[in-house]
Amino acid sequence: MKMRIPIIIISLLACVNIANAQLFNNGATITIQSGAYLMSTGDIRNVSGTITNDGKIEVQGNFINSGTYTSTLNEDSLIMTGTGPDTLTSGGATLHYLTINKTNPTDIVRLGGTLLLTTKLDYLSGSFTTDPINNPLFSVTSPLTAVYNFAPLTEISGSVKRTGTFVSGTPYVFNQPNMLVTLNGGSLPTDFTVTMIPQSAGGDPTQNEREVKRKFLFASTGGSAFTTDIRYPYVLGELNTNVEANIVPWQLLSGEWNGRLTPVTRDQVNHYVGLTGLTTTDLTVEWKLADPKYTFNVTALLRGPWNGTTMNTTINGIIPTAQPYNTTPFNYAGPENTAVPNANVVDWVLIEHRKPSTGLPADATSATITGRKAGFLLNDGTVVDLDGVTPIAFNITKQGPAFIVVRHRNHLGVLSNVIPSNALGTFANDYSVLSNSYKATGASSDPVVLLQGGVKYGLWAGDANKNGAVNAADINSIKVSIAGSASGYLFTDINLSNSINVTDVNLTKVTISSSGTGSAPNRLNSASVVTNIPDPIVK
């Protein structure tokens, strides 16, 4: 049933309840005086008339205004209650007080256009959205003086715009209590917009990567040389495979997600991550949250200690507690320092994640390392973390298809072929399979060597000088150690036997003789087997 009345005046302390009906105003003037209350259990549609509201309007259906809506005292209140999905369309009119108090948390109030709200929002229950997927230009727009009150677990899905004179260093509330923005220094903008789309509203960051299912966009007008501190809120149901204690903000730059690991604060009670010092350029791109700690399921074998079935663990008792890759050419200053966790450990190895912007293996230089860590190599070829059991895991700063490098202190390092990324946060590669290692165009030898047994492949042995090539110079270094009766955890101990002797020389000669470079009969003097890593010395 629709009501069509030319003039309605609802006076002081009066309460009008329009039950089981729509209020359809098509040209009439409706005045709700101060202290009066108009309630509709259906829709209120002001098509072409005038509503002057100095009291309160409660609507349990849609509120659609395409006529004139005003308040002489600037004390109008609109209260959205009831069940089901309803639309709030202010039609360009200004609302002063808005209450969202739907019956159930899943009952939706959806904007049908930008809402201008000047004084106060009381968000008590329900779901409130600006409809960002279908109508990305809609927003809740309020001056900085407007008060936003949120009941627990409520938030605005979509765009919230705050306007006015920002004060440097002052946090301002946007979509929910922990969606805070603080502007600092410089010339501050005249407005700032946060678009926050949670998973429940269709929030899905660009690309299929590991991520918290919540999308963030920012925009501002005017200002220059200011920085921004932002809190990024989330709910536990959006974490997916991410560990809450690890998540950090990520920004999408030139189609590539880049993690901002510092300076980050986390609050696992109120569920937000804070990042400081965003530049004006940072505000122009998409943001999300994700766990940067990826797991690397890597298998690799070393030719030196290979015994035909597994690798010998002869030096297990003399392996240093501190990782040994803090020297040239590795130049890795990682803090890994622990006692050898079990008797199956062969040695330390270094795992690197490389992501060149071109996506080409030839460009996977040391400049493209986005994360690396030293771990332990077990005698079956498994690379494990410091506990000696779980796969090695470490933070990376770029998502997407990438290359994995395995490096050892006296074997030639090896580069994988491109490995697709995934939403699980894992990379895997088995270097004991020849086809899983990258071979550069024109390379004189395979990136790995076929091991005794004729099935598995391992890293080339003999890089005693650690320069990414096995040649006569390495043999000379080994002979110097032999002449000095050297023993222990040394680069010249090619077979990892705790003794430098002719076996180490012979292993190195076998590597050199496998090279396609050099010329007979002087191959051992001129030949060289070179790593497939583009630049073996990390700058």
CB 370 within 8 A of CB 355: yes
Helix (H) / strand (E) containing 30: strand 29-32
Work out the pLDDT band at 537, boundaries 50, 70, 90: confident
Sign of dihedral through CA atoms 418, 422, 426, 428?
negative
How many CA atoms lie within 13 Å of 463's alpha carbon, on the beta-carbon side? 23
Q: What confidence score (pLDDT) does residue 522 get? A: 41
Q: Yes or no: is domain 163-291 CATH 2.60.220? A: yes
Residue with the bigger pLDDT between 59 and 539: it is: 59
Which architecture characterizes domain 293-530 according to CATH? Sandwich (2.60)
Peptide bond preceding 329 in cis form (omega within 30 of 0): yes
Q: What confidence score (pLDDT) does residue 8 get? A: 56
Residues 6+ positions from 375 with CB-CB distance below 8 Å: 336, 348, 349, 351, 383, 384, 385, 386, 392
Question: Whole-number mean pLDDT of the chain?
Answer: 93
pLDDT tens profile 434-467:
999 999 988 888 999 999 999 999 999 999 999 9
DSSP reduced 3-state for 461: strand
Most confident range (mean pLDDT) of 9-18, 92-101, 528-537 is 92-101
User: Tokens standing for 424?
Assistant: 């699980």
Beta bridge partners of 86: 109
Residue with the bigger pLDDT between 84 and 250: it is: 250
pLDDT tens profile 345-384:
999 999 999 999 999 999 999 999 999 999 999 999 999 9
Whole-prediction pTM value?
0.91
Asked if the model's pLDDT at residue 193 lies above 60, the reply is: yes
Count of beta carbons in the 10 Å neighbourhood of residue 118 = 15
CB 61 within 8 A of CB 41: yes
Count of beta carbons in the 10 Å neighbourhood of residue 322 = 14
Work out the pLDDT band at 58, boundaries 50, 70, 90: very high
Same fold? 163-291, 293-530: no
Q: If 0-12 CB within 10 Å is exposed, 13-18 middle and 19+ buried, where does residue 488 land? A: exposed
Work out the pLDDT band at 13, boundaries 50, 70, 90: very low
Residue 499 CA, distance from chain mean position: 47
The domains of the chain are located at 1-129, 163-291, 293-530
Among 11-15, 161-165, 290-294, the range scoring the smallest mean pLDDT is: 11-15
Q: What confidence score (pLDDT) does residue 22 get? A: 83
